[in-house]
Amino acid sequence: MTQADQILNHLRSGKHITPLEALNRFGCFRLCARIYDLKKAGHEIESQMVTLPNGKQVASYRLAE
């Protein structure tokens, strides 16, 4: 199963994903590239900026409802 497939399955289960989660769960260093591929394939994915405990902001992705 490709990284994009794994990420899509994760999103389909109703969960969101951040770049660090993608790296830890799926070994994906370039989550935004996989999200781009999924969007290009026709999946509606929303992004939201979230602030981490250390103050840094990252994108969190989920399937649109």
Write out pLDDT tens, residues 2-59: 999 999 999 999 999 999 999 999 999 999 999 999 999 999 999 999 998 999 999 9
Query: How far is it, in rounded angstroms, from Cα 1 to Cα 53?
Result: 32
- The answer to whether 28 and 3 have CB atoms below 8 angstroms apart is yes
Does position 63 have pLDDT exceeding 90, yes or no? yes
Query: How far is it, in rounded angstroms, from Cα 53 to Cα 4?
Result: 27
Does position 62 have pLDDT exceeding 90, yes or no? yes
Query: How far is it, in rounded angstroms, from Cα 8 to Cα 35?
Result: 9
Query: Which residue ranges make up each domain of the chain?
Result: 3-63
- Residue 65's pLDDT band, with cuts at 50, 70 and 90, is confident
